[in-house]
Structure 1
């Protein structure tokens, strides 16, 4: 193999392909990064039997070939090189990188021992890359992180014609985002449970191009899902194995009618919650006291510290009469995660009953219509007394 490419092109490609390399690979060969040079350019690939990553970039290829090299070491080296073209030569035993006066010689790994990367499934449809990245970021905040309960660490992707729904829950909160896309067939109907961490990292890394192609094959546990994006930095492809297990049926919780709606400024609510949460004791709630035209956030650490802050609010109760809910207890982290996921100036808290789930939705104007494309539900904490 003999190639030449720009330092920034090399560094970005290697960083992207190496980001999914396992920290503690089950077998040493999985720590390698596969480098293949051909007439199309140079492709850097990684695979850990669950998730694969491939990026192809332009390069001057004098001699074609394939080598396997330590991925993290190559990533560290590529970042440190001076801003000059990089010449790479390699054979079955070593790789040499020359950039200006800097020269590195690395021992290669046996290519024959590296597992075959999965093929990309047939394209299912496309979605604008920035829209997809934002949608994923809004949903993954509600995904679980306990690997002992893997079904909660995924995002359920539901495809029905020209609509994609993303749904996640960790049992204490849930988030649902619905968006339009361009399917390969308007008759398509499919579901997939995708690891939330992989989905989040992939959506963020595909924003260089205008759109992302989703490719779905098989069902949960047996199938894989692929993502492909194009941009100035090259063609990027990622596949990951779908999670197995039955995702809990939680959609009905989002259809519960509200007995009271409270609207506040998103920015004011975030700022007040951050300040008050500073004194919140572990496993205790941040209390929201609801009054006429105002809500007050309170928290305390026993007798050591207390905090409260009031912000303006619009309180609407369709049935009239006395307030159906006068106080609610939120997990401070869950509340801040939810508020931070909204891109609207105002947010609406829809209460169903004391100690029952509360649904948050975005509102473009204080007296405007609720946007239902993104909904976030938080299980309220029981208040003392």
Structure 2
């Protein structure tokens, strides 16, 4: 293998593939990135048995071939290079030259590297930015508890009757749902995947600048795929599914309040400074004000007030401050609307958009904390 490539393009291509490198490789070859040069393209791939990441870039190929080298080391080296890079194989070594700088890396046995998973057939196409925004909003609600793997995933569902893709996640204390438009490829495309939230979020961020990305929902292999303009990722889908959320989201409310999102976020952050451990923050809604409190009489206390607009009876409710702030940050609207049933039942949060909630708006269902009398 022998080629020349721009140093910045090489660094970006390596960085994308390196996202799939395992933190603790089960065998030495799994710590490697596979480089393949052919047909004017350099393809770089990483794999950890669950996730594969492959990126390609144009290169001046003088001699085609493949090689496997230490991924972490290659990533560190390519980030440090500032000129065009020449790559060449010298027996069992890969040589990188950039101006007067020269690195020589030992290669790993290519024949021991596993075959990468096949990218699933295309199910539909979605905007890279829209998908990245939705993944960032929804992933906040996924659980970090690996003992309950189903709750660590983001559910991705293609609507059978409309060109809509819906993302959802829950950790049992909040449930986030957002739909976005997409171009479905075929009417009989598989309709669902449960994808690890962290992997989905990292991949979606990396593809955010792509005008379009192709989504491949799992077929028989149980593999989810995302393909961008110069990259593709496959992820082993999680077995199982989230609870059916439609029945959980209330449609009738006893009270509705609107609050400026930035002002409430700042106030909750200030008051939460005294909310140690699992201490909740308490929100008291009146006709034109929400009072935010935390702390107890025998400990530090804090209180703040923000203007609000309440329709319905005055009420008090308490939330985990982290979960509340996650929701406020994810909603991304100037004004947040709180939709209450009773103080002991989940509250629905979303942006205040007037009478009609947009189909692609985030809906964030938050369980209140029960207060002792």
Tell me if structure 1 keeps the 8 A contact 2:194–2:241: no
Q: Is the partner of 2:274 in helix, strand or coil? A: coil
Q: Is the partner of 2:76 in helix, strand or coil? A: helix
Q: Are 2:351 and 1:362 equivalent residues in the alignment?
A: yes
Higher mean displacement: 86-95 or 140-149: 86-95
Gaps of 5+ in 2: none
- Provide the residue aligned with 2:246 in structure 1: 251
Gaps of 5+ in 1: 318-322
Aligned to 1:335, which of 324, 335, 340?
324
Superposition deviation, residue 306 in structure 1 = 1.2
Give the whole-Å Cα distance in 1 for the aligned partners of 2:30 and 2:328. 39
Aligned to 1:295, which of 277, 290, 293?
290
Aligned to 1:284, which of 266, 276, 279?
279
Alignment of 1:233-244 (within 5 A): 235-244=230-239
| TM, length-normalised to structure 2 | 0.96
Aligned to 2:371, which of 359, 378, 383?
383
- Provide the residue aligned with 2:8 in structure 1: 8
C-alpha spacing 1:370/1:314, structure 2 compared with 1 (3 Å): farther
Give the whole-Å Cα distance in 2 for the aligned partners of 1:31 and 1:153. 25
Give the whole-Å Cα distance in 1 for the aligned partners of 2:251 and 2:274. 33
Superposition deviation, residue 368 in structure 1 = 5.4
Give the whole-Å Cα distance in 2 for the aligned partners of 1:255 and 1:191. 24
Give the whole-Å Cα distance in 2 for the aligned partners of 1:172 and 1:369. 26
Q: Is the partner of 2:116 in helix, strand or coil? A: coil
Tell me if structure 2 keeps the 8 A contact 1:361–1:371: no
Q: Is the partner of 1:303 in helix, strand or coil? A: coil
- Provide the residue aligned with 1:320 in structure 2: none
Alignment of 1:138-157 (within 5 A): 138-157=137-156
Give the whole-Å Cα distance in 1 for the aligned partners of 2:118 and 2:327. 37
Superposition deviation, residue 65 in structure 1 = 0.5
Superposition deviation, residue 40 in structure 1 = 3.6
Q: Are 2:304 and 1:309 equivalent residues in the alignment?
A: yes
Calculate the aligned-residue CA RMSD, in Å. Answer: 1.5
Give the whole-Å Cα distance in 2 for the aligned partners of 1:91 and 1:104. 12
Q: How many residues are aligned here? A: 370
Cα deviations by residue, 1:49-80 (Å, 9 ceiling, x for unpaired): 10000001010000000000000000001111
- Provide the residue aligned with 1:130 in structure 2: 129
Give the whole-Å Cα distance in 2 for the aligned partners of 1:50 and 1:118. 9
| TM, length-normalised to structure 1 | 0.93
Tell me if structure 1 keeps the 8 A contact 2:287–2:311: no
